[in-house]
């Protein structure tokens, strides 16, 4: 019987004694952390707040808004809400309606009749 030709990947697998990665326990996330335990990844992907789709790193039409929380006297409390809107939502002209919906869901905007 004739054997099938050996591919380059099979040759590399035979030459390198590489161990397969060990599986992580369920719920544990892979992240680069410093000695203090803070995540220091160079890129953390964002999700569109309106559609829950991932926003690619090279999308230049996406925006991120940080809306500050204020107290009764109108002073900034140091807390904020973050909203990210993908470029295709903005291009379709739906960002205003989506942002109104998101603010209403968080109780930051009321619609009076």
Per-residue pLDDT reduced to its tens digit, 58-86: 999 999 999 999 999 999 999 999 999 99
- pTM recorded for the entire structure: 0.60
At residue 42 the predicted structure's pLDDT band, cuts being 50, 70 and 90, is confident
| Average pLDDT in the chain | 81
CB 85 within 8 A of CB 95: yes
Q: What does the pLDDT read at residue 37?
A: 79
- Whose CA is closest to 86, among 102, 63, 65? 63
Question: For residues 86 and 63, what is the distance between their CA atoms, to the nearest angstrom?
Answer: 7
């Amino acid at each position: 019987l004739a054997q099938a030709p050996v591919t380059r990947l099979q040759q590399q697998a035979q030459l390198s004694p590489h161990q397969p990665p060990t599986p992580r326990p369920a719920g544990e996330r892979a992240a680069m952390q410093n000695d203090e335990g803070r995540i220091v990844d160079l890129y953390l992907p964002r999700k569109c707040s309106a559609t829950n789709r991932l926003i690619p790193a090279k999308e230049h039409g996406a925006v991120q808004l940080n809306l500050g929380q204020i107290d009764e006297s109108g002073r900034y409390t140091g807390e904020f809400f973050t909203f990210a809107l993908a470029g295709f939502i903005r291009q379709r002209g739906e960002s205003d309606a989506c942002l109104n919906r998101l603010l209403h869901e968080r109780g930051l905007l009321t619609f009076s009749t």
